[in-house]
Structure 1
């Protein structure tokens, strides 16, 4: 190439460039990382679950049983103290809540003479309270 051609190419505008429009490919969803042998990698998004809540209730009438059941249906564990309710209404409340717990595949456990724990299926309870502690309780309503 001569100097003349080099200068001509340098100062002239060439429209010989081809412009190619490339669409951005959609981002691929990242699959959760699976722990493999020898790796200590855990996907943090799988570990971040909303914290479970425990609701404490002390009903005074049978009419409050539906509010307690709503908490169980909303996936909250409920501790119920039935000491302020007479025996007949307390039995009705326990029967009603037993049906609610059954409907959500949960569990109901007796913690004391007049105290129950109702849990939905997303709450795991480990351990038991022995019957000897409940027999020694001074306030036993005969359930």
Structure 2
């Protein structure tokens, strides 16, 4: 197919004869093979089931408003560490969500830690945070410029 024809097909001016981008093996709709419908929230991401079996799950939540605090609380209550990214929120709502998260972590004996500007990590009581920096770094290392 020529470049003009491809551009015309991309713009929808002509029918595309190139069907390699379409996968006809899957049925139309949002049903999985088991008949379940997929209900996903684009603001909540959790790793695969294999990680769940090993207890290595972390949820990343980017709330739009205070109404999304419930999903944060439900994930944390289930023992999943939660990373809250509040950068897309209004400052007043972000403060309310941080206050909610602080109460949530206090009530469930977890901890809250600021990772970056308006990004927080909520960890359950049985989770240990390990810092990436060495505590006993030698002063006479490679980067010592004395």
TM-score per shorter chain, which class? 0.5 to 0.7
Distance 1:64 1:109 in 2: 19
Distance 1:122 1:62 in 2: 27
User: Where does residue 112 of structure 1 map in the other structure?
Assistant: 116
Residue of structure 2 aligned with 1:60, choices 50, 58, 64 = 64
User: Where does residue 88 of structure 2 map in the other structure?
Assistant: 84
The size of the alignment, in residue pairs, is 81
Q: Which runs of 5+ in 2 are unaligned?
A: 1-52, 134-146
Task: State the TM-score, normalizing by the size of structure 2.
Answer: 0.52
C-alpha deviation, 1:128, in angstroms: 7.7
Q: Which runs of 5+ in 1 are unaligned?
A: 1-48, 130-143
Distance 2:65 2:106 in 1: 22
User: Where does residue 95 of structure 1 map in the other structure?
Assistant: 99
Distance of aligned partners of 1:58 and 1:119 in 2 relative to their CA distance in 1, 3 Å threshold: same
Structure scoring higher RCO (CA < 8 A, sep ≥ 6) equals 1
Per-residue CA deviation, residues 6-59 of structure 1 (Å, 9 max, x unaligned), is xxxxxxxxxxxxxxxxxxxxxxxxxxxxxxxxxxxxxxxxxxx84231000000
Secondary structure in structure 1 of the residue aligned to 2:60: strand
User: Where does residue 14 of structure 2 map in the other structure?
Assistant: none
Secondary structure in structure 2 of the residue aligned to 1:85: coil
Task: State the TM-score, normalizing by the size of structure 1.
Answer: 0.53
Distance of aligned partners of 1:61 and 1:106 in 2 relative to their CA distance in 1, 3 Å threshold: same
